[in-house]
């Protein structure tokens, strides 16, 4: 699918500023959680009863706590994320040059800000907050991502009929952060606005050609 184009000139700077804003909010929230909250259930803060809480936890790897094999899995993950950040930055510039619709470029900026926010954690937090896992080769590049947004939709035993995780206890939806939220919101907006953000391919049905009747003079 090709992005919908407009006649309005787009400036890449405004979208990089949006990404920078997301990074600032993300990093500020992580600093506040690290500074003023205790990790785990001891420091849990209910915001809307049991439906929305702040819960300070550390994530050493990817989404849902998945990790690549040690000791170099973390470095590979960071390299992949940095490549994705570079590709997204280039893509945003290209979209602006092509005059793509602003809403779609803004979604790309939200994804860029979220991705870079978590990269900062991995690269620097082992030094800044001294949260690199025990046994890490170095504190640089081995920092853990700070998560805090907890929405426990369901807590309890997962039915035995579920594959792999059946019978295990779950605390509900995985804990995430502002950077994760920015990426998720952007993806959701893109899915909900496909008709606006992308050109709709027109399928022109081939009309059968009518043959002119033979003239009697041609016989």
Torsion of CA 153, 159, 161, 163, to 10 degrees: 60
The distance from CA 83 to its chain's CA centroid, rounded to whole angstroms, is 15
Q: Which tokens sit at 134?
A: 């025990």
Residues 106 and 21: their CA atoms lie apart, in Å, by: 12
In the three-class reduction of DSSP (H, G, I as helix; E, B as strand; rest coil), residue 115 is classed as helix
Instruction: Single out the catalytic residue among 112, 125, 180, 197.
Output: 180
CA distance 111 to 103: 13
Distances (CA, A) of 44 to 36, 38, 40, 154, 164: 11, 8, 7, 17, 29
CA distance 110 to 30: 18
Catalytic (active site) residue 147: yes
Catalytic residue among 10, 53, 147, 177: 147
Give the residue numbers marked as catalytic: 147, 180
């Amino acid at each position: 699918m090709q992005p919908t184009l407009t006649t309005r000139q787009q400036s890449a700077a405004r979208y990089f500023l949006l990404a920078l804003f997301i990074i600032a909010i993300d990093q500020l929230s992580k600093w506040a959680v690290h500074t003023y909250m205790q990790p785990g259930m001891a420091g849990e803060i209910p915001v809307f009863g049991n439906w929305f809480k702040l819960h300070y936890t550390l994530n050493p790897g990817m989404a849902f706590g998945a990790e690549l094999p040690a000791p170099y899995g973390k470095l590979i993950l960071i390299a992949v994320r940095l490549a994705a950040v570079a590709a997204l930055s280039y893509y945003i510039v290209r979209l602006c040059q092509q005059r793509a619709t602003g809403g779609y470029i803004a979604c790309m900026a939200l994804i860029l800000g979220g991705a870079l926010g978590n990269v900062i954690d991995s690269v620097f937090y082992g030094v800044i907050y001294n949260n690199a896992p025990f046994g890490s080769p170095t504190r640089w590049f081995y920092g853990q991502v700070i998560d805090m947004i907890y929405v426990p939709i369901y807590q309890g035993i997962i039915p035995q009929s579920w594959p792999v995780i059946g019978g295990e206890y779950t605390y509900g939806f995985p804990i995430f952060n502002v950077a994760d939220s920015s990426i998720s919101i952007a993806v959701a907006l893109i899915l909900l606005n496909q008709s606006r953000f992308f050109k709709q391919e027109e399928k022109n049905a081939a009309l059968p050609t009518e043959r002119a009747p033979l003239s009697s003079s041609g016989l």
